[in-house]
Amino acid sequence: MEYSTFGRHVAVDTWGVDFELLNSAEFLQAQMVEAAEACGATVLSVQSKQFEPQGATVLVLLSESHLSIHTYPERGFAAIDCYTCGETVDPQLAIDYLVSALKPEKCYAKKLVRGLGEMTVETPEMKQAELV
């Protein structure tokens, strides 16, 4: 069986997010698992770290690749990243879910199309996702 190397990698910087949301690894972990499931990905494992005095990192290992968030609550900032291999799982759906849950004041996103030769960079269309 031959596998495609095609993948999509969406990276988002969010600003103006509530401190309490960004400072709860437990909340973020739950939202990220729901986001992965919302885009049809298969969750293999989840790792999270609550930092002191504030901040969190959550990494969701997917069968299709990964979903991650790194937060700076004191700045209202979160860096969100989702990469998926193949064409069946759309990382943009996971990103839209997380952005809908975090409700940032500002959001900046780029999508890399990978695995087809030279990477291309696009500006994705962000949509409001229905939360579970």
Respond yes or no: is residue 85 known to be catalytic: yes
User: At 10, which CATH number?
Assistant: 3.60.90.10
Range of 28's domain? 5-120
- Pick from 9, 18, 60: which is nearest to 38 by CA? 60
pLDDT at 87: 87
Question: Which is the catalytic residue, given 48, 66, 68, 70?
Answer: 70
CB-based contact 111:7 (threshold 8 Å): no
Residue 131: inside a domain? no
For the stretch 27-73, pLDDT in tens is 999 999 999 999 999 999 999 999 999 999 999 999 999 999 999 99
pLDDT at 132: 66
Residue 39: inside a domain? yes
pLDDT at 4: 80
Question: Which is the catalytic residue, given 9, 85, 100, 107?
Answer: 85
Question: Which is the catalytic residue, given 65, 82, 100, 107?
Answer: 65
Residue 2 in this model has a pLDDT that exceeds 70: no
Respond yes or no: is residue 70 known to be catalytic: yes
For the stretch 76-104, pLDDT in tens is 999 999 999 988 999 999 999 999 999 99
CB-based contact 127:102 (threshold 8 Å): no
Residue 1 in this model has a pLDDT that exceeds 60: no
Residue 66: inside a domain? yes
Residue 129: inside a domain? no
Rg over alpha carbons for the chain, rounded to the nearest Å, is 14
Which residue intervals of the chain are DSSP H helices?
A: 19-22, 25-38, 91-102
Count of domains observed in the chain:
1
